[in-house]
Amino acid sequence: DAKTTQPTSMDCAEGRAANLPCNHSTISGNEYVYWYRQIHSQGPQYIIHGLKNNETNEMASLIITEDRKSSTLILPHATLRDTAVYYCIVRVDNYGQNFVFGPGTRLSVLP
Amino acid sequence: GAVVSQHPSWVICKSGTSVKIECRSLDFQATTMFWYRQFPKQSLMLMATSNEGSKATYEQGVEKDKFLINHASLTLSTLTVTSAHPEDSSFYICSARTGAVSRELFFGEGSRLTVL
């Protein structure tokens, strides 16, 4: 699976949009981009995933560049409860394969 | 989304004892479940892949005789930490996919093990 690079940490003001970048310059054509987050002492929570097109759900939006070498997770109105470690993962769609977690980005939403 | 439940959520045990952690898929069947371990301030590390009805596949460096995995049914996988030592203290997390159609991986709440 392709390797990802994320900033170690980010701050965001409460109520503002949080934009979390992820670089995956070696992504191959059949690899999806997934985002998960982990709030302290809890299991990871699925946020969103995409292949080529931008995606939006009730939690967030995922913007994937046209060359697919990077993506941005957008939390439109961050709240204090969004403080967590956010993981960007790229992988092929294979049922039997696990997800490989990097260090992620520690997002702190500030009041 | 689908629900994966772990039990217990936290456990404290004495050194040398064995501890069993259960992972259940509550509203779907999972032929494959994954067990991760997470030390403080670190990311999740895959320990093993649990396959229903067959032996688990362990990652390099994970002792299969120490971390016993049993996946006896399509909704239950168990991880038993045998002869636990303080260095086994960690956050253990299981996960599962709902099936070939669903691409998301769903995680349990995690189980925090403290070995005294």
Evaluate if residue B90 carries a pLDDT over 90.
Answer: yes
Closest CA to B98 of B90, B107, B106: B106
- Residue B72 confidence (pLDDT): 82
Amino acid at the residue A46: Y
Task: Give the mean pLDDT of B93-111.
Answer: 81
Evaluate if residue B101 carries a pLDDT over 60.
Answer: no
Considering only alpha carbons, which residue of chain B is nearest residue A95? B100
pLDDT, mean over chain B:
91
Closest CA to B5 of B113, B108, B111, B112: B108
Tell me the C-alpha distance between B73 and B31, whole Å.
8
Evaluate if residue B91 carries a pLDDT over 80.
Answer: yes
Q: Which of B46, B103, B114 should we substitute to test contact with A (largest number of A Cβ atoms within 10 Å)?
A: B103
What's phi and psi for B85, nearest 5 deg?
-125, 160
- Residue A95 confidence (pLDDT): 66
Across chain A, which has 111 residues, the per-10-residue mean pLDDT values are 89 97 93 94 93 95 96 97 96 76 95 95
* CA-to-CA separations, B15 to B10, B35, B47, B83, B88, in angstroms, rounded: 16, 22, 21, 7, 10
